[in-house]
Each structure stands twice: as C-alpha cells, then as structure tokens.
Amino acid sequence: MELSTLTIQEIHQLLITKKISSVELTQSMLNRIHDVDSKVKSYVTVTDEVALEQAKRADERIAKNESVTPLTGIPFAMKDCISTRNVKTTCSSKILENYVPQYNATVTNKLADAGAVLVGKTNMDEFGMGSSCENSAFFNTRNPWNLNHVPGGSSGGSAAAMSASLASFTIGEDTGGSVRMPAGFCNVTGIKPTYGRVSRYGLISLVSSFDCIGPMTRDVYDCATVLEHIAGHDEKDSTTYQSPVPNYTQHINKPINKLKLGIPKEYFVAGMEAGVESALQESIRQFEKLGMEIHEVSLPHTKYGLPVYYLLLFAEASSNLARFDGTRFGLSKSDNAKDVIDIYLQTRREGFDDEVKRRIMLGAYALSAGYYDAYYLKAQKVRTLLRRDFETALASCDLLLAPTCPTTAFKLGEKTNDPLAMYLSDIYVVATNPAGVPAMALPCGFSNDMPVGMQLIGKHLDEQTLFQVGHAYQQVTDWHKKLPNL
Amino acid sequence: MTQTIDTKTVKHVANLVRLGISEEEAQTFSGQFSSIIDYFNMLNEVDTENVVPASDIANAENVLREDVVKPSMDREEFLKNAPQSERGYVKVPTVLGDE
C-alpha cells in the first residue's frame, strides 16, 4: 500500500486500528523524501530525528488510547517561516541561514500537542516575497507536475511537498495568495483562514495585518481537520478571535443546495488562459448541478487590489524586517565595522537578496516624507473600498468563486527579470488579504497538462461554508485525486 | 505619466533602511522602481474623498490583560543566538560617534 498518498482521514483509521504504526509511516515518508526530493527540492531541512522521536510518542499515545486526535502520528511539513524550537527556521534567507529559534510558534505547539509528526521545513520565497519560489536564497523548488515549471509562491515548498506526496499535510502561510496560488499550481487544497483565526505568534512577520497561517492538504476534509487543530484564540497574539473554533468536520456534510454562489464579473476578463477559463466555467456548472444558485456580482475596485496590496506590503515589510540587523541573531557581518551602523549596512547587504532589497526600499519610499499621503495613506483608503466591495458582494451571496491565477504554472526563469510581471500573477489572490476574508483554493481541472485551481471566498469567520461547498464539490469530482508522476 | 526615481533617491531610501548598495545596484533599482511606482500611480484614479483609511482588519477593540510577571526566556538561552556577547549582554561596536 502506498501510504504517502493517503489522506489524513485514511491514515488515522490505519493508525487507530493498529494496521500500521506512526514510526513505520514516518520512516517510509522520510525514505520517500530522501529518494524523491532531490528532483522536487521542496525541503530546506528534513528533521529525521525529531520526526522519529515524535512518531514513537504518537505510537505510545495510540497504544494507551490517551488523547489521540485525528492528527496523532501524522507526518507533516512546515513552511520555513514558522518557528520551531531547536530546528532551523530560515525563511529561505541567507540572513537566517543558521538561525535556530529558542521557542515554538503557537501553531507548532498546537500541532505537537495534537501528536502530529514534523518531518521537515519547506522552501519558500525569501521572507514570503515572491510568487514562484524562485526568490529562495538557497535553491528553486520545482513543480511536481513538470519539473521545468515553478510551484508558485511563496509557500512553493509546502505546495510541492504536498503534491509530490512528501508529507501527509503541510502548513503554509498566506500574505497575499501564498497558500492559494501555489496550491492551484500544484493541484492541492489549501486555505487562507480569516485574518485572526490562527495565531501568528512565532511566525516570522512579513505583513502583520495580512499574514495568515493555513493548511495545505490532499482534500477539503483534511483541510478542515487541520484548521480545527491550529485555529483559536492565543493570548500571545491579540489579533486572534476569542470566539470558539467550530467543529468544521462534524458539519461538513450539511447540504449546500440553495446556497448563493457569487461570480465576480471583474475576475472573468480578457487575459485569462483559455484552459483556465474553461475549467472555471465547468466548475460553475458543477456547483449549479449541486443545487447552488449562481449570481453575478461586482467587486468594482478589483484592479486596484494589486497596488494596494503591494504598497502596504512594502511599507509593513520595511518596518518588520528592520529587526534583521546583525546584532542579536542571524547573520552578522562586521568586517572592520567602525560603528553599529556599519554592521547594519554590511549584514543587510549580504543577507538579503534583490527582491527583499527592492521591497524594503520601496516601503521606505512609500512611507517617507512627501510620499506618505500619495502612497501609504492612499493605499489604506482604497483598502477600505476593497473591503466594502467584499462586504457588499457577500451580503447578497454566501460565498464567491474565483480563479487562483490567470495562468497555470509558468516556466522557471520566465518572469524573474521583470518584477512587475511577477507581481501581476497574484492579481486574483491579493485582494482577500487586505479585506481579511477567508478563501480556500482547490483543484478544478487541467490546462495543457498543468493543474488549474479555483478559490472559494467566504464571509469573515465563515470557513464552515467554504468547507461544506468544497467538500460537496470533491464528492462529485476527482481532480484533487490526480497525482503527478515522479 | 512617468515618474522617475533617480539613483540619488534610491541611495537615500537604501540608507533609510540601512542597506549598503553599490552604484551599479542603484542604477538597476532606479529603473525597476520607476516602472513599479508608475504602475501604482493608478490609485490616483480612485476618488477617496471622505474615505476613512483602514486601520484594523478584524477585532476593532482593545485587548487588555492583567499585568502580571511571568518567566521569560533565560538570558543564557537568549544569548545563544547573539553574534557577540559579553557578561550577559549583547555586544556591538560604538553606537555614538566621537563627534
């Protein structure tokens, strides 16, 4: 039996009926990573020792039938921007290449408490800045569906690892599509929860007001299972919601007929790859067959989503990344430094790659005297309008449907010389983050043999509806079951 | 409408974010920044008269807690990641110059 391709739900059954042990499962996953990941290059660090130790403890829990959860004994991988105590956390940046955190992120603790088994940390665009994983300072991750193509970004490693069956689930982080866009490119399911649903404590910040940690999984049911375990209030992150986390999986089979699905007309315009558009149209018909009501809606400020997102990202990132200064942790360059400023200048010059340099400089520009009103403040005002767009559309509908990207995964190197062209690939995913609403990506077809993704966008804190609708869709389609040949 | 960000401006913002850059890099960034900012200027089309800038995204209220002392990270543990330390402190070169 090929264990690596099973869902969490299927593995859980095998574990609790003692057909397999977590140690066996974990060892076979680690073997597969050591065999196959040289092609995909999704992992920055593989944590063999930690994994086998956690698997052993999971087996003890299962043997004693003590606090066994659906995640107990399940091997997973974590995006390398989420802190793991005593395990390197690099953000795929030279400035953190050898950084070993002394503490865990809340998400790391929650997954450890649930008994999940960490098999490694996955590659990403440096500090989450990119849409193809090509901005990793270490190496390019490849799309398991075609190794000459990118996996998307910034959670490209987590998407590729999930797609290549190199973990039973992965954790990504979505600042402006970084879970959904690579999920679409690699044929996996992934959710950006409502802002504030999952604690950001221990996540290395990119844009504090956009960042959302979310799972990437084989199917919607697994996605709901993982979110149940990582969501919730955290006193260490005051932006987390106090409201209890619903039992998403318990209600996942609730009927979806009569639910209203909004199709934003601004998302279906010229420029979309023909195969992407036809896959999306086919899914709309599928939802109609499932008894949903389809309505056209308008998100009038859509075209401004990209500049709003990037301007606010530049500004917040330039401030957040000020902490990497070579004095307290991380890379430190102090050759003949005559004062502390010299350490800053040298460390940041050597430690950051070009995209990070571009963005923090543009952030300082957008925030500087004379430009603050024209750029930063203007973007925050248009952000208010973007948010109202979603509120209005979601007042008349239960959820919205959109593509995750205008194209399928592009070739490695295709957009690296043109930063603006790379930014434009995020056009469908960025607007949800300034608005804070939840959105889930799921496979919906193929175009020229490459996967196509769609996203379901919901109301604040209404992940439940996204899971119900996505689950119903996956009961009548099998796109999510298609796996790449490696 | 093309807005040029010259190398002088690039060097100025590099200094603001404490980033050492060469003349050649300043040239490259200058071209790239001009086209990016030029694209972003499309925001000028949007009428934002009387629109309140967004300031929070979810929980619009203050979150308060009792101010109680709790153990924090051990000093030795913290200093494990410091490039240089001395007598329990992070060590850096001169912060204030002689002038």
Which DSSP category does A373 fall into?
I
Phi, psi of A28 (to 5 degrees): -70, -35
Which DSSP category does A3 fall into?
G
ipTM over 0.85: yes
Return d(Cα A147, Cα A411) in angstroms, integer: 9
Check whether A71 has a pLDDT greater than 50: yes
| pLDDT tens-digit series, residues A392-436 | 999 999 999 999 999 999 999 999 888 888 888 898 999 999 999
- In percent, the amount of chain A with pLDDT more than 90 equals 94
Q: Which domain holds residue B32?
A: 7-45
pLDDT at B1: 44
Whether B11 is in a domain gets the answer yes
| pLDDT tens-digit series, residues B33-70 | 998 999 999 999 999 999 999 987 666 678 888 999 99
Distances in whole angstroms, Cα of residue A329 to Cα of each of A238, A301, A391, B80 = 25, 42, 42, 8
Return d(Cα A164, Cα A151) in angstroms, integer: 11
Strand partners, A445: A452
Closest approach of A462 to chain B, Cα-based (Å):
13
Helix (H) or strand (E) holding A87: none
- In percent, the amount of chain A with pLDDT more than 70 equals 100
pLDDT at A29: 98
Pick A329's closest partner by Cβ from B44, B82, B92.
B82
CB pair distance less than 8 Å for A360 and B52:
no
Pick B10's closest partner by Cβ from A196, A361, A435.
A361
User: What value, to the nearest 5°, has the Cα angle with vertex B47 and ends B45 and B48?
Assistant: 125
Check whether B2 has a pLDDT greater than 60: no
- Arithmetic mean of pLDDT over chain A: 96
Q: What is the CATH number of the domain that holds B28?
A: 1.10.20
Catalytic site residue A425?
A: no
Q: Walk me through the domains of chain A, giving residue ranges and CATH numbers.
A: 1-486 (3.90.1300.10)
Return d(Cα A160, Cα A122) in angstroms, integer: 9
Q: Is the dihedral of CA A358, A87, A11, A196 positive or negative?
A: negative
A394-398, Cβ contacts within 8 angstroms, sequence gap of 24 or more = A394/A262, A394/A437, A394/A457, A394/A458, A394/A459, A396/A260, A396/A262, A396/A295, A396/A297, A397/A260, A397/A261, A397/A262, A397/A295, A397/A297, A398/A259, A398/A260, A398/A261, A398/A458, A398/A459, A398/A462, A398/A465
Is there a contact between A346 and A325 (Cβ–Cβ < 8 Å)?
A: no
Is there a contact between A35 and A10 (Cβ–Cβ < 8 Å)?
A: no
Whether B40 is in a domain gets the answer yes
Is there a contact between A448 and A258 (Cβ–Cβ < 8 Å)?
A: no
Work out how many domains chain B is built from and give that number: 1
Check whether B99 has a pLDDT greater than 60: no
List of residues 6+ apart from A371 with CB closer than 8 A: A365
Higher-pLDDT residue of B29, B99: B29
CB pair distance less than 8 Å for B19 and A345:
yes
List of residues 6+ apart from A207 with CB closer than 8 A: A175, A176, A312, A313, A316, A317, A320, A433
Whether B17 is in a domain gets the answer yes
CB pair distance less than 8 Å for A344 and B59:
no
Return d(Cα A148, Cα A449) in angstroms, integer: 13
What beta strand segments (E) does A272-379 contain? 293-297
- Nearest C-alpha neighbor of A439 from the set A425, A450, A449, A426: A426
Token representation of residue A332: 């430190």
List of residues 6+ apart from A25 with CB closer than 8 A: A3, A11, A14, A15, A55, A73, A75
Whether B94 is in a domain gets the answer no
CB pair distance less than 8 Å for A349 and B16:
no
List of residues 6+ apart from A11 with CB closer than 8 A: A3, A20, A25, A73, A74, A168
Whether B21 is in a domain gets the answer yes
Whether B26 is in a domain gets the answer yes
A324 interface with B at CB cutoff 8 Å:
no
Whether B98 is in a domain gets the answer no
Whether B58 is in a domain gets the answer no
| pLDDT tens-digit series, residues B64-89 | 889 999 999 999 999 999 999 999 99
| pLDDT tens-digit series, residues A309-330 | 999 999 999 999 999 999 999 9
Is there a contact between B44 and A375 (Cβ–Cβ < 8 Å)?
A: no
Helix (H) or strand (E) holding A170: strand A169-174
Pick B19's closest partner by Cβ from A328, A357, A378.
A357
| pLDDT tens-digit series, residues A86-101 | 999 999 999 999 999 9
| pLDDT tens-digit series, residues A247-261 | 999 999 999 999 999
> If pLDDT is split at 50, 70 and 90, which confidence band does A53 have?
very high
A364 interface with B at CB cutoff 8 Å:
yes
Catalytic site residue A56?
A: no
Chain-centre distance for alpha carbon A5: 20
Return d(Cα A326, Cα A359) in angstroms, integer: 19
Is there a contact between A169 and A222 (Cβ–Cβ < 8 Å)?
A: yes
B82 interface with A at CB cutoff 8 Å:
yes
pLDDT at B98: 58
pLDDT at B3: 66
